[in-house]
Structure 1
């Protein structure tokens, strides 16, 4: 133990009032023992600064005090090997404050000191929660568990989505409780009050803990399928195709690996669904029958979301989904099947009009959008149930070669424009084509927008681009940067709620197609990002990424999360226009 006087407490007594040292805890504890290390400088045996006679008092509020008793504290040894040599039995006293009133010391110098005091307590509060405090991705079916407070007879469980407004949801005899009504995508706060009516203090309120439930329920991520046909583990053994249902579909590749391993949204596999409506069948379907009926009403789920990715050579057919035989048509553009963008399709479950407590069959299909049928392949991944139905807009990704097909017009109403650069004067106008001027930006902010996060690296260059006209200036130079735990976010402000807008991001391929995948998450669909290849048009070729949406409030945001660590979205330029001005 230390013999340095600067490590200890030493003081003179105040005039005309008792000297005491007071300890305050973060809450009320059931105290067991107090261990005391007295004053312990190397000259203590001569000086006698250590306390000798003390009165121990305790309180729950710092106002009303109870006397535990008078005690003599053993003298410090003045050595570095000194250990606590006084133990005071606190007898399970409930206290938040403890006071040692000094009655005498071991010497006559008129100063009094201590080295250290430790308090041991009886764990009357609940502790060691499961899920752990702050844990995320918790299944809604999870039962709450904890280590019970000593001497607790029953356990009151309080729960809520607001730490200030928790309600009693049940009383348990054991240290576990199953709420049963948790929902996906929420943060919950909970507290256990340990109760024993036979004790002086009948209830001990524990800490407030929190956990966050999973954002969705995964129906099929396509990761469990193998190439073992004999074991029935191939993807087409679960998702039946035209070989079984006599439609124009083929699930999986004809040769192993049967699942898709390259064009995937997450993890390692996706489902390739080939459709051919040109032959004897006028429609193509892949169907999955569940081994036991599924309850798609539990835990607050509201929507079915499928992620799909198309192919440029596809025929633009009508995609649809069936649930227990009830059919919902894809409400986006049929040409979405031609885009190599991973986009979400979210369907309100109530729109199917079936018994959602007993879902037995899920079908994905394609039928002719016109008189003649077509063919192609669409990849599916991450079919899931969502707790919300976002009032989300839609992405459109298309090539851009110059002013003629940029979509810019001086007749449109632009609410926001920005050209990121490290050159020129911040805020000055820059000609963007067709009589439209953008705002030059050097500090990642404008009068009604901000770009926050790590996109602070400036890359100004005259790199050749295959975009002609004044618009080429928009893709000469960019800012970039991304981190695994912090992603750039563009926020537009000053929007008019209820107004339809089109946000456009101007880009050029900085490498070959397939080389810069980024998940772009709009603020009106925060749990369902769209994966876009910013190099999708090829090296040097222009690309327009447009998002049509209706403003729910005065702000709209876009977050950019690069798929590959070390990559990032290249922020060249953007605009936001009133949709009715098209």
Structure 2
């Protein structure tokens, strides 16, 4: 997000007592600190974890991490309903979160900016919401405001409080309800209040970032962080105390609550908002870590006043030990200490459970469908919940009465060095009376199942016969090597010839390298990634084999790298991009048995490209996109940023939006931003270009790169047939729906029966109900009878029809389908059938039934057949790309273009795009794009330029200083038109020949 702009003063004090009360009243807390994945965890648990849908972007937040929503639709977090999310877990509540609003405009035919919503449109009336300018679809608009609304009964109006927006700034929004009055606070200050009641009992999901109801609507554009729900009404002092949290450290690594953490782990965190130093507290007693201070360190202040936001413990951490740690942030200006949260993690254990395990026994009491007491019951986890065993006999092994000797044997998949055996003895409720539990047991082990050795005799404690029973028998296996273990039961606690065991668990000592990082099979691994692994417990050194030949790595014929540490930079091997590598680590220790432990063969694939510019780093303050990419205007003087103005390049190019955000944040190929580039070739010099000069010359020859790639998206042309059967076009209008339509129609004439099929390659996401598809239409009037099969951005494939001229429309749609997708419309007499297909071969009806995908429409014999595009938003232009267009029947004429119901936009015209690469000596080469249509499709197009084009012209690819992207014929300039492009993901790829 943008730089943190906060219009409030944080005092250099925090009410500790108030913070404690806040924590006690907190019933749900989504920190959004995960940074990756599809789950937003509730650290308290009262509200429940959220599932990310539509790929909202993990980003920097106000306190640690946050979530960024593009506002283009389909991005949200879904959380299951419960009383906490209903705001009904108590008679009072508070909702608090940090929010930075990016998109403030009203989207036509929809609400704008649903930040939070409990409920779902078209399913039930929402019960409460927080939105931009009104948010919920049927709530009264309050433009320019943040609005919190509560509905007290299904179908009633909303009671709301509102406050003016502060776009592109992090703002703390807090709403409280004390049982009578609803209040809104902005940055700790009360700004609105009204009499209200609790939200009604809506049982729908809770959503963050949008309302997916009615096929999707009300999408929020901006960032959210640190969402909290309390079960009481916070006071203004409490809220102000909460403001102080911005100075606290966040995003700990290891994550709080992490388990199986390596013994040599380092600690890291995200620093608080204010410049300062860090005090690191680390220990095994939570109370000490919580209470310690500079004045009373309690032996856990392990680093005081350090600059780095990382800390490496002085010695190895203890196996299986739980540690607590805290980071205090100490302000540079006044020395104020922001006491941090208490985090914890648990270190890896010395031994790991052996899996798989096979169990056999001397005899079995019963092995029927009704009751199975076979030996497998001791290894299948039956009866275990949280490592506490049940008292149910069917969850245990029981031998047959009077069949001796009594034994149970376990077989592993290979020989292990065994560490420990845990046993849950027989645990029937009557165990103290019947005494089936094993008592005197000889533990035997073998590598081959033939030659056995005894570990000794052991007395197994009797089980308590209670459902809270945890393993209290732990046998030290002493590091013996075995594939088989037999428990030879000499007696049981009851003295009879019968024995029983509930569960066992074997632990082994890992001798081979394990837990590879990157994980086995990982993709898109960075060229400079660190190769890491958990070392075997006896390892004194390591031999690392790495190569592209799996067999050679497996056989060890690759030259190994000898290492003392269990990590090394992949860069040391000069890897190639887009290449699969195999690697293996052998653990070495001449003083141990065995001295050499070969490792498994793992694999990963490197990322395919090196970034030249992905446009993600630009902001709206001192790293603006037009400071780096020089256009016709030049950057101008910005002394506050140390930028000295320079003249523009005198071409027709304009980089960036005229107002913040200067980079594009809606139309992006990947990430959060792209570069807007307007061009005007109607005036001299009749070409438009922008240039970025690198501060340090770049080497474009490393790691096998061979191709310069540029992604571009231009406004779709009004109509452009780029090849037979392939058409690009645009369309605008409110909708193709109800009694009259607004859209662009590209058509031919059909007499009698016939059909049209097309693959919709792309449709612009101007609205979740934007439409691009195939149509048969009786007339070119807005209210004409028609049938239409369309692909939408978010609502799947739709079969729409109007049965009567000027009549209402009907729709059947199948959700979960997205472009590229095939659609087909067939006319036979007055029966029209809509179909769709993923591959153009296997066709299905649209919707749940064939009947819903057919309609009887009385049309004239001569009709119009073609392609239709509508933006579903009259203020926007939707681009669409069709391929594999084909018709059957008596279809005549050439493609014609009609503007149905409303004037249509011109869009970009085809034109030449080009790139110039220049080295540090000033030698350059211009390469033109042969696909003139690429700037006018309305979809992201990829242009690959072989680097040999530049090197053949004498450009030194080892020292690239400038790159220029332009539109027009620079070698033979001639007057042309105007338009707009978006550029993204300029990169160097390695593409196989």
TM-score (norm 1): 0.57
Inter-partner Cα distance in structure 2 for 1:3 and 1:263:
61
**Does structure 1 residue 380 correspond to structure 2 residue 964?**
no
**1:293 to 1:12, Cα distance in 2 relative to 1, 3 A:** same
SS in 2 for 1:91: coil
Whether the aligned pair in 1 keeps the contact of 2:692 and 2:962 (CA below 8 Å) is yes
User: 2 CA distance for matches of 1:116 and 1:249?
Assistant: 77
Aligned 1:14-93 pairs, distance under 5 A: 19-44=406-431, 47-60=434-447, 62-63=448-449, 65-80=451-466, 84=471, 86-93=473-480
Going from structure 1 to structure 2, the CA distance change for 1:192 and 1:254 (only over 3 Å counts) comes to: closer
Partner of 1:239: 629
Instruction: Work out the CA distance in 1 between the residues paired with 2:945 and 2:663.
Output: 25
Question: How far is the alpha carbon of 1:91 from its aligned partner?
Answer: 1.3
CA distance in 2, matches of 1:364, 1:122: 59
1:4 aligns with 2:598: no
CA contact (8 A) 2:657 2:676 kept: no
1:498-534 deviation digits (Å, cap 9, x = unpaired)? xxxxxxxxxxxxxxxxxxxxxxxxxxxxxxxxxxxxx
8 Å Cα contact 2:630-2:690 kept in structure 1:
yes
Counterpart of 2:348?
A: none
Q: Report the Cα offset of residue 5 of structure 1.
A: 2.7
Q: Is 1:361 aligned to residue 962 of structure 2?
A: yes
1:442-480 CA deviation, whole Å, 9 max, x = no partner?
xxxxxxxxxxxxxxxxxxxxxxxxxxxxxxxxxxxxxxx
- The equivalent of 1:307 in structure 2 is 711
Matches within 5 A, 1:394-433: none
Cα gap change, 1:254 to 1:148, in 2 (>3 Å): closer
Question: Structure 2 vs 1, CA of residues 296 and 373 (structure 1 numbering), >3 Å: closer, same or farther?
Answer: same
1:131 counterpart residue number: 518
Matched, 1:142 2:529: yes
Cα offset, 1:252, TM superposition: 1.6
Counterpart for residue 701 of structure 2: 297
> Which residue of structure 1 aligns with residue 912 of structure 2?
318
Task: Determine which of 122, 129, 149 is the counterpart of 2:509.
Answer: 122
- In 2, Cα distance between equivalents of 1:85 and 1:271: 64
Cα offset for 1:187? Answer: 5.0
The number of aligned residues is 385
Aligned match of 1:330: 928
Q: 1:342 aligns with which of 936, 940, 943?
A: 940
Of the structure 1 ranges 137-146 and 361-370, higher mean CA displacement relative to structure 2 is found in 361-370
Structure 1 residues 79 and 283 mapped into 2: Cα distance closer, same or farther (>3 Å)?
A: closer
Shift of 1:154: 0.9
Distance 1:269 1:318 in 2: 24
Partner Cα distance (1:300, 1:57) in 2: 57
With over 3 angstroms needed to count, the CA separation of the structure-2 counterparts of 1:70 and 1:340, relative to structure 1, is closer
Q: Which of residues 472, 486, 496 is equivalent to 1:99?
A: 486
After superposition, what is the alpha-carbon deviation per residue over 1:318-345, rounded to whole angstroms, capped at 9, x for unaligned?
A: 3221222442433423344344332111
- Pair 1:340–1:14, CA change in 2 (3 A): same
Kept in 1: contact 2:449–2:483 (CA 8 A):
no
The 1:23/1:164 distance shift into structure 2, 3 A limit, reads: farther
User: What secondary structure is seen at the aligned counterpart in 2 of 1:367?
Assistant: coil
- Structure-2 separation of matches of 1:36 and 1:371: 85
CA shift at 1:285, angstroms?
3.1
Q: Of 606, 615, 630, which aligns to 1:222? A: 615
How far off its partner does 1:286 sit? 1.8
2:362 corresponding residue in structure 1: none
Q: CA deviation at 1:295?
A: 2.3
Paired with 2:680 and 2:473, the residues of 1 have a C-alpha distance of 87
- Taking structure 1 as reference, are residues 66 and 158 closer, same or farther at Cα in structure 2, changes over 3 Å only? farther
Q: Which consecutive unaligned segments of at least 5 residues does structure 1 have?
A: 391-582
1:161·1:189 contact (CA, 8 Å) conserved in 2? Answer: yes
Take 2:925 and 2:587, find their aligned partners in 1: how far apart are those partners? 52
Provide closer, same or farther for how the CA distance between residues 356 and 94 of structure 1 changes in structure 2, counting only shifts above 3 A. Answer: farther
Shift in Å, 1:219: 1.9
Give 1:352's match in structure 2, choosing from 950, 969, 985: 950
13 and 323 in structure 1: CA distance in 2 versus 1, 3 angstrom threshold? farther
Q: Distance in 2 between matches of 1:375 and 1:11?
A: 89
Match of 1:199 in 2: 592
Distance between the aligned counterparts of 1:3 and 1:241, measured in 2?
77
Give the deviation of 1:273 after TM superposition. Answer: 3.3
Displacement, 1:142?
Answer: 0.4
Local SS of the residue matching 2:394: helix
For 2:566 and 2:591, the matched residues in 1 are separated by 19
What TM-score, normalized by structure 2, do the two folds share?
0.35
Looking at structure 1, the residues matched to 672 and 495 of structure 2 have their Cα atoms a distance apart, in angstroms, of 79
Give 5+ residue unaligned stretches, structure 2.
1-388, 634-646, 718-906
> Is contact 1:317–1:369 with CA below 8 Å preserved after alignment?
no
Q: Is 2:662 the counterpart of 1:256?
A: no
Structure 2 partner of 1:153? 540
Match of 1:465 in 2: none
Pick the aligned partner of 1:271 from 675, 678, 702. Answer: 675
Tell me the CA shift for residue 42 of structure 1.
Answer: 4.5
Distance 1:28 1:326, change over 3 A: farther
The 1:49–1:269 alpha-carbon spacing in structure 2 relative to 1, beyond 3 Å, is closer
- Counterpart mapping for 1:362-511 below 5 A: 362-365=963-966, 366-367=968-969, 372-377=974-979, 378-388=981-991
2:565 maps to which of 170, 174, 183: 174
Structure 2 CA distance for partners of 1:275 and 1:105, relative to 1, 3 Å: closer
